[in-house]
Structure 1
Amino acid sequence: MAGDQRDVLNALDVAKTQWYHFTAIVVAGMGFFTDAYDLFSIPNVTKLLGRIYYTEQGSKKPGSLPPGPSMAVNGVALCGTLAGQLFFGWLGDKLGRKKAYGITLALMVISSLASGLSFGDTPKGVITTLCFFRFWLGFGIGGDYPLSATIMSEYANKKTRGAFIAAVFAMQGFGILVGGIVSLIVAAAFDHAYKAPSYDKDPVASLPRQADYVWRIILMFGAVPAALTFYSRAKMPETARYTALVARNEKQAALDMAKVLQVEVGEEQPKKEEKPNERGRANFGLFSHEFARRHGLHLLGTCTTWFLLDIAYYSSNLFQKDIYSAVGWIPHAGEMSALQEVYKVARASVLIALCGTVPGYWFTVAFIDILGRFFIQLMGFFFMTVFMFALAIPYDHWTKKENRAGFLVMYALTFFFANFGPNATTFVVPAEIFPARLRSTCHGLSSAAGKAGAIVGAFGFLYAAQSKDPNKTDEGYPTGIGMKNTLIILGCINFVGLLFTFLVPESKGKSLEELSRENEEEEEENGDHGTESASRRTVPV
């Protein structure tokens, strides 16, 4: 690491918190607001899709999405997200963070609008086009993970870096909340206009023709917040760390910093002439023995903890409606009109978001640079395990009408400790502990592992959570292992996540170069292999 590089990086590490930091949080965070809105608004409308496109004429109960279409609608965006995380994670290191950043937001805007315009002459045609557009929506969402996390980590100072990255991710909480609120408003407005009776009273009138507009409006609204920040995102300069460490242009890095941050960089030092193989060992790649030696266990830790967390987190989020119905918190479908059902599902999700999801995110923002990433992640997994078991073991107790308020409190606490815990820290840590030239790629790999877990949760939960009693099988789904056993499995998964947390290093208060061990690379370039250097080779695990 040349002297002028060190000046640039030190200036970033000690820079005071400035207005641009908050601007970057909003611009990057609005992508995550859109992510959460688009991914988690779909549970609010899946029951409506089933009623509109799969209700059989003369049937005694309203239609529902069959298992195949239901899994596709809920899971295809996750598949797109996984692909986008891998592709844009690699692209962010190859071309730079900025060049790939605007593409992700454009994909989200276009695909959100297109999802609401899904077309087809048959139910299968509509669902197929919806899934097509949601895949590309997920692809854009996936790119936002490694790019936003890396950009925020490389702009932040080391004292408040955790809070800044967590604040970007915390915008997800507002996206989930607003998704529920928009669903509430749209459903209430249409219900007030058409005053549809319950399905039991009048199956035809319970589903007004205009109900088809409801799910389309809800999905299309996701384009609005992304479009509002498109210009600001396009104007963001490349991060100084990428320019200095990867592009090797320290002068441009200093100029870019001067545009957005009030920092002083020392006089530019004359560049040392590099010998042909001087940086050969230090410039190791992702699949090299050197990377495995230095960061292999760290990458295993970030991937496995995110994978295990998302199995539980996405299962609970995407299928809240099924859990509410299972404990009787939402009435039977036949007792409501289609619009009333959307309203009640959305109301339940808003309450959970207000009570647990949003506060959990911002507790992490407040305490991550005080308590540390390791402690918060360990604590979160521990309490998620406790509350999952507390819901599962006395499950029959919670299904009684007089105990439903207690169920809501316990369920909200699992979301609180997911977000004041591993759901935030698994996003933060991979953006801090890997070398700059591989940072976006490694974050993309870690987040893709998380989405693989989300896919397992989304697809597996649909079958697993069905009642063991064939007489209680809901909406024609095949009999599974039951809600109680499903919650027990999720509790066990959280406990395993707690164990894998011990592979992830603490990054509080350290510079990115210290964490990624790029300082070691400087010593290797200078031929310093003394005992002092060797003593710093181990990052605590």
Structure 2
Amino acid sequence: MSTQDDFKKTQSYDETAVTGEHHSNHVRLEDTGKSRWDRMWPVIACGAGLFSDGYLNAIIGSVNTMLGKIYGDTYKKSKSVANISSITFAGTVLGMLFFGYTSDHYSRKWSLMASTLIIIVFAILATGSYGAGGSPRGMFAALTAYRFLLGIGIGGEYPAGSVGCAESTGELKAGSRNKWFIMFTNVQIDLGFVIAAIVACVVVVATSENHLRAAWRICLGLGVLPPLSLLYLRLKLQEPEAFKRESMSNTKTPWLLVIKFYWFRLSVVSIIWFVYDFSAYSFGIYSSSILLNILGKTAPLWKTFAWNILINFFYMPGCILGAFMADIKWLGPRKLLTFAMVAQAIIGYIMAGCYKYLNTPQNVGGFVVVYGIFLALGELGPGNNIGLLASKTSATCIRGQYYGIAAAMGKIGAFSGSWALDALQKNAGDNRPIKQGQDPFWVASTLAIFAALLAWFCLPNVGQDTIDEEDVKFREYLVANGYDTSKMGLEPSSSSEAITREKGVGLEGL
């Protein structure tokens, strides 16, 4: 039998069946004595750290523009332009894979704490970057190194934080779980993008363009505050209930069975995440440069950053509206992702076709609106839902690694997009500005259509109780293949006393 047949066979379990000892000893979550706040604050503590990802990745676009103004060709013609923008993604990939492993095999909480401390330390060091003897190139190298190490900490927020957030939403009211997961994961990332744009503009106005050497350090330094603000809540965290009952930290992970069960689904999720981040992060990082080109070289820097605020603001209606739509029964995350990606591709093709009219100072308002709709649709669909699908389409015992691999593929897409966008524009030639603007939209839109088809035909629907159902299906699969599940859970002797919600049981609260 082929591995594809194995995959189809393993997915044939009834999705609503909860049988055997795993269900017979269930404890209703409303009987655990937890208040609404007790169930809600772990969701906030786990997920909201992704604000740092949005802020620290977005602010570097504005910092790049400032460094270009300060150092001229010394910076613009160096490799540092691309390295400083994209090197964080390389560190993030490493962090996702490393903390994905530790969050499954050791602790969700302490993996999250470690990543938080890394972010704080290297955000501070990046702010104070300095080259030997005051050398600009030495400073560029130091900033590049610190941004890489900062990325490792950001990477830990995904498999430890987002996975813990998804598992914690299982204790919220049915019909709102997808919404709250999105509100404290992707909405936080997008809010980070918006705040980064506002900070860059305000700081430049406050310091003036005569003091950009101070401005870029202030912008980076403010990125230390968000992770610091979450330290107390994260110290209070307990391991999620799903992790307590399903962890394989006390037993050997059956990797062959895991691969046979999940390889196809993980591949699909990873490809879609790659495509989304390819355009979302690369377009966001270079939005300041695109606007600078449209407004002209004589426009003051603050005006470029002010327009950038408007561009980034378009992320918010897309992700917030999408959060509320993700719990609609007839729609759900998979369909919402598909429809939004198709709509985004159509807008992208329109932008490519009309770019010669949009690429003028007098039409900059039209450019920002259409480009903003393009970005909003990306958040409405894949931005919100790919992380949700990655966190809820695997069993708890390997969720950190499953999510970490998928998210790492996304960041590889972001890293690739940063380089590809720059390469596309250079390949078009300096004397062909229209083609420089068109080509990225042709590529991004075509990839979006491809990803939409994958989501529609290859991903499962995700409901309110998918995490519990997935745990049951995977346990049944393990038992059917001779694996001893009695040692699963943080306390193996009581691992069978699972907290499993029955269909139709509602929780009071949110």
Task: Specify the TM-score bucket, using the shorter chain as the normaliser.
Answer: 0.7 to 0.9
- Counterpart amino acid of 1:508? G
1:412 corresponds in structure 2 to: 372
Out of 179-188 and 1-10, give the one that drifted further: 1-10
Matched, 1:32 2:32: no
State whether residues 303 and 446 of structure 1, in contact with CA within 8 Å, keep that contact through their aligned partners in structure 2.
yes
Residue pairs, 1:415-430, within 5 angstroms: 415-430=375-390
Q: Secondary structure at the match of 1:369?
A: coil
Q: Which structure 1 residue ranges, 5 or more long, are not aligned? A: 56-62, 197-207, 250-278, 474-479, 528-541
Question: Matches of 2:352 and 2:389 in 1, distance apart?
Answer: 31
Residue pairs, 1:59-74, within 5 angstroms: 65-66=76-77, 68-74=79-85
1:188 corresponds in structure 2 to: 205
TM-score after normalising by structure 2: 0.83
1:352 corresponds in structure 2 to: 311
1:285 corresponds in structure 2 to: 254
1:493 corresponds in structure 2 to: 447
Question: CA offsets, 1:118-165, max 9 Å, x none?
Answer: 001211101110011111111100110111121112122354321222
Matched, 1:331 2:299: no
Question: Matches of 1:51 and 1:184 in 2, distance apart?
Answer: 15
Question: CA offsets, 1:329-350, max 9 Å, x none?
Answer: x331xx25xxx41x23321221
Question: Matches of 2:26 and 2:63 in 1, distance apart?
Answer: 49
Out of 29-38 and 396-405, give the one that drifted further: 396-405
Question: Matches of 2:26 and 2:68 in 1, distance apart?
Answer: 56
- Measured after TM superposition, the shift of residue 415 of structure 1 is 1.1
Q: Secondary structure at the match of 2:48?
A: helix
Distance 1:457 1:6, change over 3 A: farther
Instruction: Select the structure with the greater relative contact order (CA < 8 A; seq sep ≥ 6).
Output: 2
Matched, 1:299 2:251: no
Distance 1:510 1:22, change over 3 A: closer
1:131 corresponds in structure 2 to: 144
- Measured after TM superposition, the shift of residue 513 of structure 1 is 2.9
Matched, 1:399 2:416: no
Distance 1:149 1:7, change over 3 A: farther
State whether residues 9 and 241 of structure 1, in contact with CA within 8 Å, keep that contact through their aligned partners in structure 2.
no
Residue pairs, 1:42-57, within 5 angstroms: 42-54=60-72
Match of 1:369 among 292, 315, 327: 327
2:236 corresponds in structure 1 to: 235
State whether residues 8 and 240 of structure 1, in contact with CA within 8 Å, keep that contact through their aligned partners in structure 2.
no
Question: Matches of 1:248 and 1:225 in 2, distance apart?
Answer: 31
- Sequence identity percentage: 21
Instruction: Answer 1 or 2: which has greater helix percent.
Output: 2
State whether residues 392 and 488 of structure 1, in contact with CA within 8 Å, keep that contact through their aligned partners in structure 2.
yes
Match of 1:321 among 268, 288, 293: 288
Question: Matches of 1:14 and 1:362 in 2, distance apart?
Answer: 31
1:388 corresponds in structure 2 to: 348
Question: CA offsets, 1:35-76, max 9 Å, x none?
Answer: 111011111121211222235xxxxxxx75225111101011
Question: CA offsets, 1:237-258, max 9 Å, x none?
Answer: 1112111122699xxxxxxxxx
2:38 corresponds in structure 1 to: 20
Distance 1:455 1:9, change over 3 A: farther
State whether residues 386 and 491 of structure 1, in contact with CA within 8 Å, keep that contact through their aligned partners in structure 2.
yes
Matched, 1:435 2:395: yes
Distance 1:360 1:138, change over 3 A: same
State whether residues 32 and 172 of structure 1, in contact with CA within 8 Å, keep that contact through their aligned partners in structure 2.
yes
- Counterpart amino acid of 2:155? G
Question: CA offsets, 1:273-331, max 9 Å, x none?
Answer: xxxxxx9xxx8634x1x3344322210111000011111111211111232234x2x33
Q: Secondary structure at the match of 1:465?
A: helix
Question: Matches of 2:409 and 2:24 in 1, distance apart?
Answer: 33
- Measured after TM superposition, the shift of residue 369 of structure 1 is 1.1
- Counterpart amino acid of 2:188? M
Distance 1:248 1:224, change over 3 A: closer
Q: Secondary structure at the match of 2:464?
A: coil
- Measured after TM superposition, the shift of residue 3 of structure 1 is 4.2
State whether residues 364 and 421 of structure 1, in contact with CA within 8 Å, keep that contact through their aligned partners in structure 2.
yes
Matched, 1:518 2:474: yes
Question: Matches of 1:366 and 1:5 in 2, distance apart?
Answer: 31
Distance 1:526 1:137, change over 3 A: closer
State whether residues 312 and 494 of structure 1, in contact with CA within 8 Å, keep that contact through their aligned partners in structure 2.
no
Question: Matches of 1:445 and 1:88 in 2, distance apart?
Answer: 11
Q: Which structure 2 residue ranges, 5 or more long, are not aligned? A: 1-18, 484-510
- Counterpart amino acid of 1:303? S
Q: Secondary structure at the match of 1:420?
A: helix
Question: Matches of 1:124 and 1:142 in 2, distance apart?
Answer: 27
Question: Matches of 1:16 and 1:231 in 2, distance apart?
Answer: 20
Q: Secondary structure at the match of 1:427?
A: helix
- Shift >4 Å, 4+ stretches: 1-10, 12-17
State whether residues 466 and 482 of structure 1, in contact with CA within 8 Å, keep that contact through their aligned partners in structure 2.
yes
- Measured after TM superposition, the shift of residue 110 of structure 1 is 1.1
TM-score after normalising by structure 1: 0.78
Out of 136-145 and 316-325, give the one that drifted further: 316-325
Distance 1:139 1:11, change over 3 A: same
Residue pairs, 1:213-224, within 5 angstroms: 213-224=214-225
Question: CA offsets, 1:198-254, max 9 Å, x none?
Answer: xxxxxxxxxx3x3211100100100011101112112101112111122699xxxxx
In our comparison, the structure showing a higher alpha carbon Rg is 1
Out of 90-99 and 395-404, give the one that drifted further: 395-404
Match of 1:79 among 61, 68, 90: 90
